[in-house]
Amino acid sequence: MGQRLSRSYYTPLKDVTVRQLAGSSPAGSSFLLSPAFCLKVLKRGLPPHYECSKKELTRFSGVIKYEESEVWREKQKKVEERLWVSMTRRKPTRHLESEVEAVLEHLYASRSWFRRPGLLERTLVDQLENVLAAGKQNTLWNRMLYMWRRLFRKSVSTKTLRSSTKYSIAAATPGTERAHVLSLAVAVRLWREFRGDDTIARAELPALRRMLNDTRNLSIVCQHTNRVLHVRYDEEILKRLDSSSSLRLSPGAAKRLSAASSVLLKLSREHEEMKPFCDSALRRLNSL
pLDDT at 228: 92
pLDDT above 80 (res 91):
no
Instruction: Tell me what the mean pLDDT of segment 158-171 comes to.
Output: 66
Q: What does the pLDDT read at residue 162?
A: 85
Q: Is the pLDDT of residue 17 over 60?
A: yes
Give the per-residue pLDDT at 4: 47
pLDDT higher for 179 or 199? 179
Mean pLDDT of the 12-18 span: 86
pLDDT in tens, 73-83: 667 788 888 88
Query: Looking at residue 13, what is its pLDDT?
Result: 84
Write down the pLDDT at residue 186.
95
- Model pLDDT, residue 9: 76
**Helix axes of 205-212 and 184-195: crossing angle, nearest 10 degrees:** 140
The answer on pLDDT for 288 being more than 80 is yes
Residue 133 pLDDT greater than 70, yes or no: yes
Segment 165-181 shows an average pLDDT of 71
Tell me which long-range contacts 127-133 makes (C-beta under 8 A, separation of at least 24). 127/41, 127/44, 127/45, 127/87, 128/83, 128/100, 128/103, 128/104, 129/104, 130/87, 131/83, 131/86, 131/87, 131/93, 131/96, 131/100, 132/97, 132/100, 132/101, 132/104
In the predicted structure, residue 145 carries a pLDDT above the cut 90: no
Which one has a higher pLDDT value, 286 or 131? 286
**Can you give the pLDDT at residue 102?**
78
**Considering only 31-40, 245-254, 259-268, which range has the smallest mean pLDDT?**
245-254
Per-residue pLDDT for 38 more than 60? yes
Q: Reduced to 3 states, what is the DSSP secondary structure of residue 12?
A: strand
Select from 213, 227, 229, 116 the least CA-distant residue to 161: 213
The predicted-structure confidence for 257-273, as pLDDT tens digits, reads as follows 999 999 999 999 999 99
More confident residue, 132 or 156: 156
Give whichever of 5-19, 98-112, 216-230 has the largest mean pLDDT. Answer: 216-230
What average pLDDT is seen over the chain?
Answer: 80
Is the model more confident about 117 or about 219?
219
Percent of the chain residues topping a pLDDT of 70: 75
Q: Are 118 and 56 in contact (CB under 8 A)?
A: yes
Parse the chain into domains and list their residue ranges. 2-137, 153-286
pLDDT, residue 27, reads 58
